[in-house]
Each structure stands twice: as structure tokens, then as C-alpha cells.
Amino acid sequence: MRALAYFKKGDIHFADDLPEPTIENDEEVLIDVSWCGICGTDLHEYLDGPIFMPRDGGEHPLSGKRLPQPMGHEMSGIVSKIGSKVTKVKAGDHVVVEAGCSCLDIKRWENSSLKTNAACSACAKGMVNCCAHAGFTGLGVTGGGFAERVTVSQDHCVVIPKELPLDVAALVEPLSVTWHAAKIAGFQKGQTACVMGAGPIGLAAVLVLKGFGASKIVVSELASIRRDLASSLGVEVFNPAEHADAIEELRKIPVGQDGFDAAFDCSGVKATFDTALHVTTFRGVSVNVAIWGNKPIDYHPMDVTLKEKRLTGSIGYTVEDFREVVEAIHSGRIPLQDCRQLITGKQKLEDGWEKGFLELMNHKETNVKILLTPNNHNELNA
């Protein structure tokens, strides 16, 4: 099978002889992949990894699977075959894949080293995205969407309307990340929001917050090209480098509020963490969406206490988030044309390393989301 795969630390390349995925469990589904987006996490696996991938030729504890594995977890496709007990999808359905894997998925894999009859405490409470053993399809647990085909459990498939373009459908995964964050924040229609960073997740946050009915959204971003991208989505942009006291200037923007109802750090550096915390109003909420390294940072707890603010984090998503995002796009709550602005490149699978990974690593300021198509279901210029 053709795939762009992770072979070992510092080695991601295209190959045409990877094993074909097969239905190993009677509740699994085989999908022909249409489009799969390259995520910043994929880039980190190359630059800093292995992070989620198995180390030193070992097995992933959830699945028992080894490298090489096709990467890619932001995928859409068409169901080609189903297991004997599959009832939620059928062959020919257009689907997106919720890529999170938890200890509830262990039953799928005979070689799992975590075989147990009991769910971890997070999964037992229905918080599968916080699973003690959490992993992802396309990030070490099992092969992902940078391949012609992928197998997933029917519980991770969300059927999409066939009128929803499959390329846009590949954005459901990053949109679900920020949709989940908005829910964690308890964000309500009419509230104000400040987004730190106009990268892929920051821009996805803009679309989601518009869909939630925000009365004002301001994006704080240093790079002019990314500010322009945010501005094209119809929100106010702010360049912190132009102000001696950027936090104070940001706080003034929501008139009469002394700051924003919510702030979302989508960058993950101390400056954006501090800004997100300080630009929120009394009883406002600051949500960390970014994935950080292992180095801690300092903050003053009284900055939270004195104004009864909330400081929280949001990790990943659930299947329900995917369903809600699909419905939001289908209903126009998240406009299709806005989604398309996030797609800045489409490439064939064979060109995924040179024109995808390297392009994003070397020219991230001019790119948001590059999609790869293994099966050329759609024309590249569609």
C-alpha cells in the first residue's frame, strides 16, 4: 500500500509497499482515505519525536503495533468495507474519523499490553479524551490517513452529508479541537473572546467562536500574513509588537467589560499564556489549547484569585464534538467558504514530504492547512 509513514526518529518518507490494513475486529470499518491534513503535531513528531510514536522499535501499549506506520489523523474518506457487527455506518458512506484512542478501544487489539476489563477512571466517567492511555490513529496507536486505506472502529466514524465536500470535511478534526475548548470554557452567545495566535488552531478557534455567536473576537498575532488571514475571516486583529503595554490595550477593546469573557491560548509560549490570563475580565476564563513542551513556567495565583477567574485546559475532542462540528458546517453556522480559507495547499500523497511537511516547516507563515490526497477522490484544485 502507498503511504507517507513514520519509520523511525527523523525518518518520514513515502513508500509503496506498506502492509494493507485489514479488518481485525468485527466492529471495525475499512475506509478509502480521500483527504488528510498535516497537523503541527505531525511536524513535532519529526522535529522533536518520537512523542506519541513507539520508541526504539517497540510496540504501542494500546495496540501492540510497531513502526513503520502511516501518519495522519485529520482525515475524511469513503467506507469500502465493514465488519460483521458494524451497524453505525455502511459501505459507500462518507465519513470523518475521530482519531482519539482510549482504553475503551483495547478490545480491538489482541497484542495490547494493557488488556483489562476495567476502564480507567477518566473513561469510566465518559471523559475518553482524558484517558490515562490516550493515543491517536495516525500517531502511534495504528496507521492513519496518509495512506490509501485505514481501519478504525465504527465508534470513531461520523457519517457526513454527501453534499459536504470531502476536502473541507478533513478540517472537522482541527475544528473539533477548538469546539471542545469553547465548550470547556462554557462560552455563550454574545460573549467576547480573545485568541492568542493565528496558526491553524487559532484560526479554527475563530471559526468556532463565530459559530458559537461571539459578539466580538480579537486575534492577537505577531506575523502580518497570519493577521491578514484572521482579518479575512471577519474578526479584529491586534499586533502586540505595536504597543508598549499590549495587555492593557487588549483589555480596553471590549467596551465596558474590563477585558474579555474568554481567552484561548493557541500558541503555547509564556507571553501568550500570560496575555490570555490577564486580558480576561472578572470571572472570565482563560483556556490553554496549545500543546507545550516539558518546561514549566511561572504565574502568580493571585492573578486568578483576586478576580475569580478560571484557568483551565482543553485536550483533544470527543465523537460528540465531531458530530456537532459536522452539523455546524452543514447548517452554515460555520460557513463553508470560511473553512475553505484555511486550506492553503493540496498535494498528492507522493509529494507529501517535499510539498507538505517541508513546506510547512520552512514556510509556516504562509500556510495554514495542507491536505494530502492518497486516492485522488477530488481534483487537486477542487
- Show me where the domains of the chain are located: 3-171+342-373, 175-313
By CB neighbour count within 10 A (0-12 exposed, 13-18 middle, 19+ buried), where does 375 fall?
middle
- pLDDT grade for 381, boundaries at 50, 70 and 90: very low
| Residue 365 exposure: Cα atoms within 13 Å on the Cβ side | 6
Q: What is the pLDDT of residue 172?
A: 98
> What CATH number should be reported for the domain whose range is 3-171+342-373?
3.90.180.10
Q: What is the pLDDT of residue 377?
A: 56
pLDDT 10s digits, 329-348? 999 999 999 999 999 999 99
Bridge-based pairing of strands 280-288 and 310-313 is parallel
pLDDT 10s digits, 273-312? 999 999 999 999 999 999 887 788 999 999 999 999 999 9
Q: What is 175-313's CATH number, 3.90.740.10, 3.40.718.10, 3.40.50.720, 2.30.30.830?
A: 3.40.50.720
The residues, ordered by sequence, that sit 6+ positions from 96 with a Cβ below 8 Å of its Cβ are 75, 76, 157, 158, 160, 169, 170, 172, 173, 322, 326
Distance, in Å, from the CA atom of 374 to the CA atom of 382, rounded to the nearest integer, reads 15
Q: What is the pLDDT of residue 28?
A: 96
- pLDDT of residue 127 exceeding 80, the answer is yes
Q: What is the pLDDT of residue 295?
A: 81
Percent of the chain with pLDDT over 70: 98
The grid coordinates listed for 227 are: 493577521
- pLDDT grade for 372, boundaries at 50, 70 and 90: very high
Bridge-based pairing of strands 260-265 and 280-288 is parallel
pLDDT 10s digits, 40-90? 889 989 988 888 899 888 899 889 999 999 999 999 999 999 999 999 999
Q: Which helix (H) or strand (E) holds 3?
A: strand 3-8
pLDDT 10s digits, 189-248? 999 999 999 999 999 999 999 999 999 999 999 999 899 999 999 999 999 999 999 999
pLDDT 10s digits, 98-126? 999 998 888 888 878 877 667 789 999 98
Mean pLDDT over each residue of the chain, to the nearest integer: 93
